[in-house]
Amino acid sequence: MKEILSIKNLRKHFPVKNAWGTDVALVKALDGVDLKIESGKTFGVVGESGCGKTTLMRTLLRLVEPTSGSVILSDEIIGNEVSSNKLEELTGDELRSFRKQIGVVFQDPMGALNPRMLIKDIVSEPLAIHGRTENVRARVIELLENVGLGEEHLYRYPHEFSGGQRQRIVIARALALDPKILVLDEPTSALDVSVQAQILNLLNDLQKKYDLTYIFISHDLSVIEYMCDRLAVMYLGRVVEEADTEELFSNPQHPYTKALLSATPSFDKKKEKIMILGDVPSPINYLDESKAKLATEITEQEKLEINAIEGKGIDYIVRSSLNEVVPLVQISDGHFARVK
Amino acid sequence: MLEIENLKTNFNTYDGVVKALDGVNLKIEDGEIFGLVGETGSGKSVTCYSALKLLPKTGEVVDGTVKLNGEDITNASDERLREIRGGEIGIIFQDPLSALNPVMTVNEQIGEILVLHQNKEIQGLASEKEIPIYKSEKWKASPGVEFTIMAFCISFISLFVMLGQWGFSLPFLLVILLMFFRDYVQKDNPVSALDLMVIEALSRVKLPNPEQIAHSYPHELSGGMQQRVMIAMALAGKAKMLIADEPTTALDVTIQAQILQLIKDIQKEENMSVLLITHDLGVVAETCERVAVMYKGKIVEEASVDEIFTNPKNDYTKGLLNAIPKGSKERLKVPNLEEVRTS
């Protein structure tokens, strides 16, 4: 196993201030995340909205500064001649050369493409920013052909393309600087299943061709299962379970993972259902202890739902019971979970 | 319950006529959950909007009949249609936050539907319990407006005092005093019949403290709660049929499971018919009894759920099912849409 980057105890706490500017609470978007990302493989991150997936992606790109912890980069990404292999210590040119190595594909392709720019300008923009001025046109055509588009698309605007084609353009742009890592933030959730299949096939082809490492963020477990080699399940800023995909799908340990797997709609009607009751708890941690207690109490809605569901033969988990901090333990080789 | 025959809808655009629906036949029985699946642009939503005459101005129904409980509503009057929408047929939309009015409280929004469709029941409840029908709201404005009024009054008072005519400032002084003692001047009305019915509607969708939620604005609620409020609104008019247009697409899977369970429970309790429009075949497999697959404005296949997933007949349905990743790492089969188009 060759690591391309590893994340050590990464924390990002956003302070919540009151009207006088004093901190009253912390939003723990990332609360001690440890991950090792293997080179040439696809690493998946799953979790529901507000669990910190996107903050993790942003800290990896250093778009937000982490509160503590570090991202350790391998030589493969930054080379040998840098002052430090820690992402948070990089500055200036070193940071720029690091950012060349990491491409991003966002969820909504129309939002990621400037509607007033031609496709050739969109795809060549990263080249211009990083000072590559030779053979730009040939390079852009090569990139477009890589993703199944061609020279005839150079002088068109984003609105002239369908959703799947737009996502292809975003992928072409992300690959413009020959990155080693591609961060894919829900790349197919805005697409239909048939188009999704095309994009997933394309991503697999590109990975083989360029030996890319993917960090794949999604909430669609069937896509995750198809794409990823290794998987981390996040819940409220913490990784609650991490394992190889097959292991995780066949032998989930953490109650949240179990519920997530059973909540995914499937064609198998007999599959056992575990419902999670209540809404996603607020990630706000009050510094005042009396308020902090609220987070772990069973809410009125959960009580109601328990009453509604009991006696119907449906297993359930009360969501606030998942808030407890349990240390990560090793279940088997390479399989970690926060279970007692 | 709802019968759609040979429905054809055209959209007139600058590039010519788009045939959004090309002869759709649907029959939804009493008390069943019927799924309508298809990809973007296949005409799922247009089917339900055409049936309820909710099309934009560019769209028109060219041909076909729509029957609700045997009554032909194809050429129904606007009054009758208004009775049907929200009365006999309730609708849930995809994104709850854009379907709810952001400047109205939940109370006002559900109350609106009750006043339109359940007026007799409200009056009955009011006379039975001897309480007023509506609550006369206390005079209330946003803090900004109150501050402005206060500032105006104070400046006028100081102006008149400076001019030596301080007698003129008395009415302004009165306004300020009234604003301070408003709570004592206006007494709280007892609960109204409308309030009780709103709270009842909210507790039907298993929302906790309905009293508190009734007084909150949509943005104060979480996504799942907003969708529950939408369902409460759709059911408030004692709907016999529920049209759910992608009800869970904007929600997380765990919340999606909750909302689908709620729709199933309510359907069973009230023995309603539900038309579930979705692009997610998994959701259909879990909730529906019968399902129709749409493609290019036509229904290409209609069958029971077990049948369609084990033994699909149409090429398009097969392609759609093959395109879903199913655990194995084999290369996904992309449906060849060109072939389907010609067949």
Segment B51-93, tens digit of pLDDT: 888 888 888 888 888 888 888 888 888 888 888 888 888 888 8
Strand order in the sheet with A329-332: A102-105, A181-185, A213-217, A42-46, A230-235, A238-244, A335-337, A329-332
Inter-chain CB proximity A197 and B333 less than 8 Å: yes
From the list A163, A194, A259, the residue facing B254 with the nearest CB is A259
* CA B170 to the chain's CA centroid: 50
pLDDT of residue B326: 76
Among residues B139, B137, B121, the alpha carbon closest in space to that of B193 is found at B121
Inter-chain CB proximity A269 and B209 less than 8 Å: no
pLDDT tier at B160, thresholds 50, 70, 90: very high
Whole-angstrom Cα distance, residue A150 to residue B266? Answer: 52
Neighbours of A118 (CB within 10 A): 15
Percent of chain A's residues with pLDDT above 70: 96
Please give the mean pLDDT across all residues of chain B. Answer: 84
Q: What is the 3-state secondary structure (H, E, C) of chain A?
A: CCEEEEEEEEEEEEEEECCCCCEEEEEEEEEEEEEEEECCCEEEEECCCCCCHHHHHHHHCCCCCCCEEEEEECHHHHCCCCCCCEHHHCCHHHHHHHHHCEEEECCCHHHHCCCCCCHHHHHHHHHHHCCCCCCHHHHHHHHHHHCCCCHHHCCCCHHHCCHHHHHHHHHHHHCCCCCCEEEEECCCCCCCHHHHHHHHHHHHHHHHHHCCEEEEECCCHHHHHHHCCEEEEEECCEEEEEEEHHHHHHCCCCHHHHHHHHHCCCCCCCCCCEEEECCCCCCEEECCHHHHHHHHCCCHHHHHHHHHHCCCCCEEEEHHHHHCCCCCEEEECCEEECCC
Nearest CA distance, B280 vs chain A (angstrom): 8
Q: Which residues contact B268 (CB under 8 A, 6 or more apart)?
A: none
Contact A299, A277 (CB under 8 A): no
The three-state secondary structure class of B206 is coil
Inter-chain CB proximity B325 and A300 less than 8 Å: no
**B332 pLDDT more than 90:** no
pLDDT of residue B195: 86
Q: Which residues contact A338 (CB under 8 A, 6 or more apart)?
A: A238, A240, A241, A254, A325, A326, A327, A328, A329
Nearest CA distance, A281 vs chain B (angstrom): 10
- The type of residue at A17 is K
Q: C-alpha dihedral over B262, B267, B272, B275, to 10 degrees? A: 60
**Which of A194, A276, A320 to substitute to test the interface with B, most B CBs within 10 Å?**
A194
From the list A201, A300, A309, the residue facing B208 with the nearest CB is A300
Inter-chain CB proximity A305 and B206 less than 8 Å: yes
Among residues A12, A13, A7, A31, the alpha carbon closest in space to that of A235 is found at A31
Segment A46-64, tens digit of pLDDT: 988 888 888 898 888 888 8
**Which of B254, B263, B329 to substitute to test the interface with A, most A CBs within 10 Å?**
B254
Residue where the block lists tokens 């190889």:
A244
Contacts A267 to B, Cβ<8 Å? 281-282, 285, 309
Among A141-155, A230-244, B11-25, B186-200, where is mean pLDDT lowest? B186-200
The three-state secondary structure class of B164 is coil
pLDDT of residue A125: 93
pLDDT of residue B31: 86
Q: Which residues of B308-336 are buried (b: 16+ CB within 10 A; e: fewer)?
A: bbeebebbbbbbbbbbbbeeeeeebebbe
Among A228-237, B186-195, B232-241, where is mean pLDDT lowest? B186-195
Segment B31-49, tens digit of pLDDT: 899 999 988 888 888 888 8
pLDDT of residue B343: 37
pLDDT of residue A204: 92
Contact B287, B263 (CB under 8 A): yes
Neighbours of A83 (CB within 10 A): 9
Among residues B162, B193, B135, B280, the alpha carbon closest in space to that of A266 is found at B280
The length of chain B, given as a count of residues = 343
Spell out the alpha helix ranges (H) of chain B.
Answer: 44-51, 78-84, 96-99, 106-117, 119-129, 143-163, 170-180, 182-185, 193-204, 210-214, 223-236, 253-270, 281-287, 305-310, 315-322, 337-342
**A284 pLDDT more than 60:** yes
pLDDT of residue A212: 92
Q: How many CA atoms lie less than 13 Å away from B196 in the CB half-sphere?
A: 17
From the list A48, A193, A204, the residue facing B254 with the nearest CB is A48
pLDDT of residue B156: 92
| Rounded mean pLDDT, A130-147 | 90
Contacts A192 to B, Cβ<8 Å? 39-40, 279
For the record, the structure tokens of A322 come out as: 């998942």
For the record, the structure tokens of A59 come out as: 């800290």
| Rounded mean pLDDT, B282-290 | 88
Neighbours of A330 (CB within 10 A): 9
Nearest CA distance, B124 vs chain A (angstrom): 29
pLDDT tier at A90, thresholds 50, 70, 90: confident
Nearest CA distance, B292 vs chain A (angstrom): 16
pLDDT of residue A122: 93
Whole-angstrom Cα distance, residue B100 to residue B106? Answer: 9
Whole-angstrom Cα distance, residue A132 to residue A150? Answer: 21
Cβ pairs A/B, distance under 8 A: 116
pLDDT of residue A100: 87
Inter-chain CB proximity B222 and A192 less than 8 Å: no
Inter-chain CB proximity A263 and B254 less than 8 Å: yes
Whole-angstrom Cα distance, residue B325 to residue B311? Answer: 18
Contacts B35 to A, Cβ<8 Å? none
Whole-angstrom Cα distance, residue A317 to residue A322? Answer: 8
Segment A156-207, tens digit of pLDDT: 999 988 888 999 999 999 999 999 999 998 888 878 888 888 899 999 999 9
pLDDT tier at B342, thresholds 50, 70, 90: very low
Among residues B96, B102, B98, B95, the alpha carbon closest in space to that of B217 is found at B102
Contacts A200 to B, Cβ<8 Å? 325, 332
Inter-chain CB proximity B256 and A265 less than 8 Å: yes
pLDDT of residue B144: 79
**A291 pLDDT more than 80:** no
Among residues B322, B313, B304, the alpha carbon closest in space to that of B35 is found at B304
**A257 pLDDT more than 50:** yes
From the list A194, A308, A309, the residue facing B39 with the nearest CB is A194
Among residues A195, A188, A207, A205, the alpha carbon closest in space to that of B334 is found at A195
Inter-chain CB proximity B253 and A299 less than 8 Å: no
Nearest CA distance, B173 vs chain A (angstrom): 31
Contact B309, B53 (CB under 8 A): no
| Rounded mean pLDDT, B175-181 | 85
Nearest CA distance, A197 vs chain B (angstrom): 6
Contact A174, A106 (CB under 8 A): no
| Rounded mean pLDDT, A152-159 | 91
Contacts A196 to B, Cβ<8 Å? 323
Segment B131-159, tens digit of pLDDT: 777 765 555 667 778 888 889 999 999 99
Inter-chain CB proximity A197 and B255 less than 8 Å: no
Contact B5, B24 (CB under 8 A): no
From the list A204, A225, A269, the residue facing B285 with the nearest CB is A269
Degrees, nearest 5: CA angle A162-A167-A169 = 95
Segment B304-317, tens digit of pLDDT: 988 888 888 888 88
Is the ipTM value over 0.85, yes or no?
A: no
Whole-angstrom Cα distance, residue A46 to residue B148? Answer: 49
R_g of chain A computed on alpha carbons:
22
Q: Which residues of A touch B (CB under 8 A)?
A: 48-49, 163, 192-194, 196-198, 200-201, 204, 219, 221-223, 225-227, 249, 259-260, 262-267, 269, 273, 275-277, 279-280, 299-301, 303-305, 308-309, 314
* pTM for the structure as a whole: 0.82
Q: What is the 3-state secondary structure (H, E, C) of A64-109?
A: CCCCEEEEEECHHHHCCCCCCCEHHHCCHHHHHHHHHCEEEECCCH
From the list B40, B258, B282, the residue facing A275 with the nearest CB is B258
Nearest CA distance, A295 vs chain B (angstrom): 16
Whole-angstrom Cα distance, residue B86 to residue B105? Answer: 19
The length of chain A, given as a count of residues = 340
pLDDT of residue A322: 74
Inter-chain CB proximity A222 and B280 less than 8 Å: no
| Rounded mean pLDDT, A118-140 | 91
pLDDT of residue A44: 93
Q: Taking chain A, what is the end-to-end CA distance rounded to the nearest angstrom? A: 29
Among residues A135, A208, A150, A210, the alpha carbon closest in space to that of A174 is found at A210
Contacts B39 to A, Cβ<8 Å? 192-194
Contacts B326 to A, Cβ<8 Å? 222, 226
Give B185 or A236, the one with higher predicted confidence.
A236
Inter-chain CB proximity A163 and B256 less than 8 Å: no
pLDDT tier at A81, thresholds 50, 70, 90: confident
From the list A194, A204, A225, the residue facing B337 with the nearest CB is A194
- The type of residue at B60 is E
Whole-angstrom Cα distance, residue B286 to residue B303? Answer: 15
Shortest CA distance from A250: residue in chain B? B327
Nearest CA distance, B96 vs chain A (angstrom): 16
Contacts B260 to A, Cβ<8 Å? 265
